[in-house]
Structure 1
Amino acid sequence: MIEHDALSATREAYDAVADTYARMFRDTLRDSPLDRAILGAFAELVRAVGDGRVADLGCGPGHITAHLGQLGLAAFGVDASPAMLALAREAYPGLRFDEGSMAALDIPDGALAGVLSRWSVIHTPPPEVPVILAEFHRVLAPGGHLLIGFSATEGPDHPTQVFDHTVAPAYRWWPDHLSALLRASGLAEVARLVTEPEPTDKRQFQGVQLLARRA
């Protein structure tokens, strides 16, 4: 199971900054055409599986969940932070937002056509990430897709690295290493998007989004 102290600390940290976080990130997709593109591709794949039901795990203030809904998906959000969920419910009253842990989702086996995890695994200690990936696999229907985002390390000699995240301790991953963990969990990578940081970014890390499919 995921270390309870780490999850509690992350929840408390995001509760404390929820208002600031929502103001900073609510409009990020507006200036991110590549993010919109891969979310659009994800949505098209998800719509082809069952009823297009998708969970946005680590949904924060709910702006990405709402975007998925605009793309025609039956999207709902899950987050560990009650303060974040309160903001999401206020901003998007027509959508569903649940409190929960990615390591133990209150979702039936094979119920989802898609799982979105945008930078939501970065606060999980690396030895515990396979538990979360196994949950992603469990809740996805055969043929369902996962889109998972994270920050990259400098190279294969550093499969994971801790970094100074403003809110809570966080980890970067070498993409091939995380892809191998996905494969071991029964989720085969089908595409990846790698983006370079802007010169003005505080952290000069590549952003990576892996698209994987459950067999």
Structure 2
Amino acid sequence: MGFLSGLFGKKEAPKRQLDHPNKLLKGDMLTLDDSFALPAQLRGQQLKVEAIHTYEYERSQQCEYLLRGHSGSPIFMSYVVEDEAYLSFSIKVNRDTVDKLFDLDAFAEIFEEPGKATLTLQTLSADTAEEFGQWLSGDYHQVEFAGFGYFHREDYRGQKPPQDENGARGEAFESYSLINNQDTHALDIEVYEGGDTEVMLTLYRPLTDIREYWPAS
């Protein structure tokens, strides 16, 4: 048997098949389409999965991939299944940028009941338009008010996130969302305990925007 084993060698383990966003693991890479329909931060970029997070809601949970490319700026991607499947890409913006994009008094109405705020994009400077223009729509209407959830910095696909009261439950937050009439752009806001607020510009895109996958192993 030792002779035969040496003659034929060990059988190679099958290579991991990576052909869908649901199969992405930390360390994997993907290449996006070079279409001008995509913002510069996405167009033709090769992005690496740096971390995988989980959003936990009362009746569902959503996986989020933290991606980084050559610029080093974080891109957040989710694979979403509703009436049809699509990709959600988001970037975070700070308060100064929000002030450049929207009237802050109108923005504050997002957090007031009954949660039916509308937003209209302000006239942008050339620099702001170049950086964020394709992430934005001219008008938004509110579709979510004070939705409750937990944010976990772990991958819980196929598992129930922990419910440990001693701190492993994740970070509690309230979510507020606005969307445009074409269902192509959104504004997502998360308010955490203590008042920390994150604002994300979100773009909905077809799965075909991912042109190639590169498994880490």
TM-score scaled by structure 2? 0.24
Higher-Rg member (1/2): 2
More helix per residue: 1
Give TM-score, length-normalised by structure 1: 0.25
